Chains A and B, each alone.
Chain A
Amino acid sequence: MRRIISILMENEPGALSRVVGLFSQRGYNIETLTVAPTEDVTLSRLTLTTFGDDKKIEQITKNLNKLIEVVKLVDLTEGPHIERELLLVKIKATGAQRAEVKRTVDIFRGQIVDVTSSIYTVQLTGTADKLDAFIGAVEAQVMEVVRSGVSGVARGEKVLSI
């Protein structure tokens, strides 16, 4: 099962490598990874997606919690949550294809952020599934795909903070 684990950690050199290292060391997989400082500059928030059954996820979260620089973490998939990923995609579109691509972008509520005579660069946010669906739906040649990896927050009152 796919899980989104969100981690608050010390914004210090070496902290990220410890988190990432733990995954390779113990044979867990990281599907996506995003990390940036929070409003409190001493803290970074790292969000990753991984796959595993309950037992494996329990081990992952326990071992992450043991890292000295990990302050707090939450498995967002345990409860209602919002997940978002940003997609930038370069699409080659000429002639009739241009209108078709634009329509598809509109349907997915994306934005065209750069245009040349033959290229559209499209920005799209949403769940990972939605981004996959968009790439599947585009009927022109996709030149380059950049995805930010998943970020997320829990719905409602629940927050991850210290």
Chain B
Amino acid sequence: MEKLSGAEMVVRALQDEGVEFLFGYPGGAVLHIYDAIFQQEKVQHILVRHEQAATHAADGYARSTGKPGVVLVTSGPGATNAVTGIATAYMDSIPMVVLSGQVRSDWIGDDAFQETDMVGICRPIVKHSFAVRDTAEIPEIIKKAFYIATTGRPGPVLIDIPKDKTSPMVKLPYEYPSKVKLRSYSPVSRGHSGQIRKAVEELLKAKRPIIYAGGGVVQGNGSESLVKLVRKLNFPVTNTLMGLGSYPATDRQHIGMLGMHGSYEANMTMHNADLILAVGARFDDRVTNDTKKFAPGATIVHIDVDPAVISKNIRADIPIVGRVEHVLQDMLAAVDEIGSKPDEKALARWWDEIDGWRKVHGMRYETNDNGLLKPQQVVESLYRATAGKAYVTSDVGQHQMFAAQYYKFDAPRQWINSGGLGTMGFGLPSAMGVQLAFPDAMVACVTGEASIQMNIQELSTCLQYHLPIKIININNQSLGMVRQWQDMQYGGRHSQSYMDSLPDFVKLAESYGHVGIKVEKAEDLDAAMDKAFSLKDRLVFVDVLVDPTEHVYPMHIADGAMRDMWLSKTERT
């Protein structure tokens, strides 16, 4: 058998896993591994400018491809810089394997230089973690890490590797295991057939049903089956922020996003439903509003791969634990088997009601007549320029909500944002991961002048790897969402929510070797957007000045029901 050092084992195991990209940043504790990386070409290392960006880039790669993202950071600050990105991936159930260096094992616990207890720090934000104790166990640990990260409810897995375990002086036989043995971990696949049948019977009886599909449909590759089921039943379907794209947004049966900033029709439909089929969603607080007032007349059918999300916030009447993809397929089969059809008359009445809601308060906004752009116009212009075909990553805040509301995502994995943790600084590095995975695709990062500055240094990485991302900076010179809350709940006192001393983003982009375009007037927007996307091989930073007073609507009224919303600054339900 071939003999390898621990460092060589790490790199070889990544090759054997079929890893294309390793996002990382070198440092003392991982130098043996970096030396092994230098001596091969199969795994391409992407050198970021900050470890947080390595995790977000790996995350963007994972979200857009469905394959696990892989990260390599050094001990101490390298590892702690990665923490935000790991937590981001954890909250959104993204498969990721993070390798962190550690000081040599005989120094652990001695407060050695760049030592930190990374396994301890990450405990609440990883699906699992490993600390390497023997060089010989490296291949098995890596195999297990990839298996755990990608199966069941996916999530990040950490492997902490002390420097001495990767020493080039110690060579041991290497064999990559073909199978994983884990007696305490066996993720479910198929749902309980009795429960599925019961659920389908309820679906067929329902008079005011809605399908509520979340990120689990995207991550669990359940989109195709979801579309089939929705069309077969002629039910309305709504998406969570994480689920956008799992059902085509331009389709008649799609009634928009639901929740805090969801569409009027989606929230009204949820509130008035007699049956809610939740698929790969978790009744998050940004969805339900007050759980005690949530959908009072609805029977809840809840499908999820993770039993712990079922009945956590909202009690499920029919829980189904299983992979979304399989459960939906089995449901389709059960519909055929039972042979009856949904109540057509009742559904027609239900659709009339929904279309009425759509007509009265569908997604809309007022434009300014003084030429000052509204942020929604920017997203609409992006949608037009890309014909709805771009991968769109976003940062966090108002621009994120506007992107979710006004870019109509027709395909899964097209919309990439930090929904659970809400991490500012996610947009640009995640776009790097997407662009690396799909070099010829249009990749746009919708961001704001605050978020973009949280990982602006990655403009340098983008130049190094020729990543022609289009950065759409919706610049309202303030922390828009914070400002909105301050307007609504703090008497308009804008405490620390405006961004003074902004850089000239055009010059900034240019100094990093990219193209910068500034847009100040509405009439220049479309041309600027078209120009940006015509420069196919360049990163273009489009800095668009927008109205800072704009708010995101609809917006749930706190502690109310799904139907309780602000529809504009003056109108409420």
Among the listed stretches A56-64, A93-101, A117-125, A128-136, which one makes contact with chain B, having 4 or more residues with CB under 8 Å of it? A56-64
Q: Is A116 an interface residue (CB 8 A)?
A: no
A58 in contact with B311 (CB, 8 Å) = yes
Chain B residue at minimum C-beta to C-beta distance from A22? B124
Given contacts A59-B312, A68-B182, 11 further A-B contacts (CB under 8 A): A9-B184, A13-B131, A14-B119, A21-B124, A55-B311, A58-B311, A62-B308, A68-B127, A68-B184, A71-B183, A72-B184
Report if A162-B123 is in contact (Cβ < 8 Å); known contacts: A59-B312, A62-B308.
Answer: no
Q: Is the CB of A14 within 8 A of B185?
A: no
A70 near B129 (CB under 8 angstroms)? no
Q: Is the CB of A59 within 8 A of B182?
A: no
A66 engages B183 (CB within 8 Å): no
* A-B residue pairs in contact (CB < 8 Å), sample of 26: A13-B131, A14-B119, A14-B129, A17-B120, A17-B123, A21-B123, A25-B123, A25-B124, A58-B311, A59-B308, A59-B312, A62-B308, A63-B308, A65-B307, A65-B308, A66-B308, A68-B127, A68-B128, A68-B148, A68-B182, A68-B185, A69-B184, A71-B183, A71-B184, A72-B184, A162-B183
Interface residue A18 (Cβ < 8 Å from any Cβ of B): yes
How many residues of chain A are within 8 Å of chain B by beta carbon? 21
- Tell me the residues in window 106-142 of chain B with beta carbons closer than 8 Å to chain A beta carbons: 119-120, 123-124, 127-129, 131
Q: Which of A25, A55, A70 contacts B184 (CB 8 A)?
A: A70
| A14 and B131 contact, Cβ closer than 8 Å, known pairs A68-B184, A70-B184, A71-B184 | yes
In the assembled complex, B306 has its CB within 8 A of some CB on chain A: yes
In the complex, how many angstroms separate the beta carbon of B165 from the nearest chain A beta carbon? 15
Which residues of chain A have C-beta atoms less than 8 A from B307's C-beta? Answer: 62, 65
Closest-by-CB residue of B relative to A9 is: B184
Nearest A residue to B183 by beta-carbon distance?
Answer: A71
Chain B contacts for A68, CB-based, 8 A: 127-128, 148, 182, 184-185
For chain B, the count of residues having a C-beta within 8 Å of the partner chain is 18
CB distance from A134 to the nearest CB of B (A): 38
Please give the distance in Å from A64's CB to the nearest CB on chain B.
10
Contact for A10 among B184, B306, B308, B311, CB less than 8 A: B184
Give per-residue flags for B282-306: 1 if the beta carbon is below 8 A from chain A beta carbons, else 0: 0000000000000000000000001
Residues 1-56 (chain A) with a chain B CB within 8 angstroms: 9-10, 13-14, 17-18, 21, 25, 55
**Closest A residue by C-beta to B131:** A14
A70: min CB distance to chain B, Å: 6
A21 to B119, CA, bound (A): 12
Question: From A25, which residue of chain B is reached at the shortest CB distance?
Answer: B124
When distances are taken between beta carbons in the complex, the residues of chain B under 8 Å from A10 are 184
For B123, the chain A residues whose CB sits under 8 A away are: 17-18, 21, 25
**Cβ distance A12 to chain B, nearest Cβ, rounded Å:** 10
Nearest A residue to B310, CB-CB: A62
Binary contact readout B148-159 vs A (1 if CB under 8 angstroms, 0 otherwise)? 100000000000
Nearest CB of chain A from residue B308's CB, rounded to whole Å: 4
Q: Quick one: closest B residue to A59, CB to CB?
A: B312
CA of A136 to CA of B312 in the docked complex: distance in angstroms?
A: 40
Task: Give bound CA distance, A9 to B124, whole Å.
Answer: 18
Across chains A and B, which 5 residue pairs bring their CB atoms closest together, nearest first? A62-B308, A71-B184, A25-B124, A68-B128, A21-B123
Collect the chain A residues with CB atoms within 8 Å of residue B120's CB. Answer: 17
- Which A residue sits closest to B130, measured CB to CB? A14
CA distance A68 to B145 in the complex (A): 11
Query: Chain A residues near B306 (CB, 8 Å)?
Result: 66
A92 to chain B, nearest CB (A): 40
B122 to chain A, nearest CB (A): 11
- Which residue on B lies nearest to A62, using beta carbons? B308
From residue B145, how far is it (CB to closest CB) to chain A in Å? 11
Tell me, in angstroms, the Cα distance from A72 to B184 when the chains sit together. 8
Q: Determine the chain B residues whose CB is within 8 A of the CB of A21 once the complex forms.
A: 123-124
CA distance A162 to B183 in the complex (A): 9
